[in-house]
Structure 1
Amino acid sequence: MGRNLQSRVRLRPVDLARGHGLSTQAVRNYEEAGILPAADRTPHGYRTYTPLHAGALRTFLALVPAHGHRTATAIMRAVNEASAEEAFRLIDESHAQLLDDRRTLRAVESALRDLEPAAGSGAAGESGPQGTFIGPLAGKLGIRPATLRKWESAGLVHPRRDPRTGYRVYDEAAVRDAGMTHQLRRGGYLLEQIAPLIAQVRAAGGPEPLEATLRDWHGRLSARGRAMLTGAAELEAYLRQLG
C-alpha cells in the first residue's frame, strides 16, 4: 500500500486495540510514549490512525519478546524520530547481550562438567590467586556491590575476608557462583530457587542435578533468538512503510 493511500485510510483507537488484544488506553499510552507516530485529530479532537500506526504497533509488539519492553520502546522512538542508526545500535546491544548469555551458559555447563567436590572450599581460596574485590566483580557483572552482599546473606556467594583489611575477596569459585546467580536472576529465578542450585553446583561434581534448569535456559535463549528474527522482519517492514 502506497504512503498516500495509507494516509487516507482512517482507523479508530478501538480498531488498533481490538486487532492486538489491547485496550484503547494502551494504544493512547503507546502513542504518548513515542512508540506510535503522533495521530491526527478530527475536528472534534478524536484521534485517527492509519495503517502506518498499525504497522508501528505490530512492530513494537514483535520487538518486546526479543528486546524487552524498555529497549523495544527506545527502538520505536528512535525510528519514529528518524534516528534509525540509534535503533540499530540498540538492536546490536541486544544481540551482543544474547551472545554473552549464550557464552555464560556454556561457561556454566563447562564449570559443572569440570567441577570437583572440593571446588569452592576455603582452602582452595587461600592457596590460590588473590581473587577479586567486590567493586570490580560488581562492575564486571553490571550490578551494585549491595546486590553481591545480598547474595552473600542468602548463602549464594561465599567470599573470604582479607585478614589485613577485612575486605571481601572472591576467589574463582565465588566468582563462578556470583556469575551463575546473576544469570539465573536475569532468567527470572528467585533467590530461594537459586540457592539449592548453587548448593548442587558446589557438591554435585557434575551437571546431572541441573539438567532440567539448563534445558530451560537453552530453551529461553533459543526463544529469544527466534523472537529477534521476528522482530527484525517486522521492523524492516515498518521501515519500508516509513519510506
Structure 2
Amino acid sequence: MRPADLAREHGISTQAVRNYEQDGFLPPASRTASGYRIYTQVHASALRAFLALVPAYGHATAGGIMNAVHDDDLGRALTLVDRGHEQLLRDRETLNTVRKAIGHLTTGAAPEPAATGWSIGELAHRLDVTAATIRAWERAGILVPRRNPATGYRVFTAADVRDAELTHLLRRGGYPLEHIATVVEQVRTAGGTESLVDTLETWQEKLTTRGVAMLDAAGLLSAYLRSRP
C-alpha cells in the first residue's frame, strides 16, 4: 500500500500519514529500492486505531498510547487508557455534583454564613483553594464581593459563596473562566438558570460522545494489537 492508500480512507493528506509514522504513531514502513514507503494492512490498522484514539483521549495521549505499543510497553499503553477512563468518571461525578447544586441556585439566597459575611481567607478555606484563586475569579467578573467601608476588606455574602462554589465545580469540569463568568452572571439575573441548564446539557453530551469514542477506540486498538507480528 502507498501513503495515498492509507490517507484516502480517512480523508487526510499523505504528508499526515508520513508525519504519523515519523512520530511513532505507526510502525516503521519498509522501503522500495528507490526509497518509496511500503505500507501494509498492519499500518492501516494502526492508523485506524490512532485516529480513533484522538477524539477519545486527545492527540497527546493517543500518540503516547501508540508510542508505548511500538516500544513494546503494553503496560504503559494500558495505563494511559485507564487514566482516560478515570478522568471521564471524575468528569461525570463533577457534572452530577453541579446538577445537585442547581436546587440551591434557584431557591433564592441562603441565610448569611455569618453576621458580617465571609472574609476571603474563610471562603478560600471553605473551598480548599488559595486566596489568589478567589482574587482571580473576582478579576474575571465572576465574584463581586462588597467592601467593608471601614477596612476596605472584601466581604462575601451567601450569594457570593454560592457563586464561588459553582465556579469551583465548573473549573473542576474544565470550563474556562470567561464561560463561567457568563453562566454566573445569568444565574444572578431573572431566568438566568436556563444558561446553566444548557451548559450542563452540553457538558453531558460531550461526556457521552467521549465515552462512545473510547469504546470505538478500544475495539480498533485491540484489532491492531492482534494484527501486529
- Give the TM-score taking structure 1 as reference length: 0.75
* Cα pair 2:140 2:177 within 8 Å, conserved: no
Q: Does 1:242 align with 2:197?
A: no
Q: Deviations over 1:104-144 (max 9, x none)?
A: 111111111223532597868528993436xx637xxxxxx
The aligned residue for residue 6 of structure 1 is: none
Which residue among 153, 161, 170 is the counterpart of 1:180? 170
Q: Does 1:228 align with 2:219?
A: no
Which residue among 57, 61, 64 is the counterpart of 1:67? 57
Instruction: Tell me by how many angstroms 1:151 deviates.
Output: 3.9
Q: Which amino acid is 1:242 matched to?
A: R
1:194 and 1:220 mapped to 2: Cα distance? 17
Distance 1:102 1:75, change over 3 A: same
Q: Which amino acid is 1:130 matched to?
A: E
* Cα pair 1:137 1:175 within 8 Å, conserved: no
* Cα pair 2:29 2:39 within 8 Å, conserved: yes
CA RMSD of aligned residues (A): 3.6
* Cα pair 1:17 1:23 within 8 Å, conserved: yes
The aligned residue for residue 216 of structure 1 is: 202
Identity %: 48
The aligned residue for residue 97 of structure 2 is: 107
Instruction: Tell me by how many angstroms 1:209 deviates.
Output: 4.3
Q: Deviations over 1:27-55 (max 9, x none)?
A: 01100111000111111111111111000
The aligned residue for residue 41 of structure 1 is: 31
Instruction: Tell me by how many angstroms 1:194 deviates.
Output: 3.1
1:147 and 1:130 mapped to 2: Cα distance? 13
Q: Which amino acid is 2:219 matched to?
A: A
Aligned residues: 220
Range with bigger deviation, 174-183 or 36-45: 174-183
Q: Give secondary structure in 2 for the equivalent of 1:18.
A: helix
1:223 and 1:156 mapped to 2: Cα distance? 29
1:35 and 1:111 mapped to 2: Cα distance? 42
1:32 and 1:216 mapped to 2: Cα distance? 36
Q: Could you tell me which runs of 5 or more consecutive residues in structure 2 were left unpaired when the two chains were aligned.
A: none
Q: Give secondary structure in 2 for the equivalent of 1:130.
A: helix
* Cα pair 2:68 2:77 within 8 Å, conserved: yes
* Cα pair 2:120 2:134 within 8 Å, conserved: no
1:181 and 1:204 mapped to 2: Cα distance? 24
The aligned residue for residue 78 of structure 1 is: 68
**Where in structure 2 are the equivalents of 1:110-189 lying within 5 Å?**
110-115=100-105, 116-118=107-109, 126=118, 130-132=122-124, 137=129, 150-157=136-143, 173-183=163-173, 185=175
Q: Give secondary structure in 1 for the equivalent of 2:12.
A: coil
The aligned residue for residue 5 of structure 1 is: none
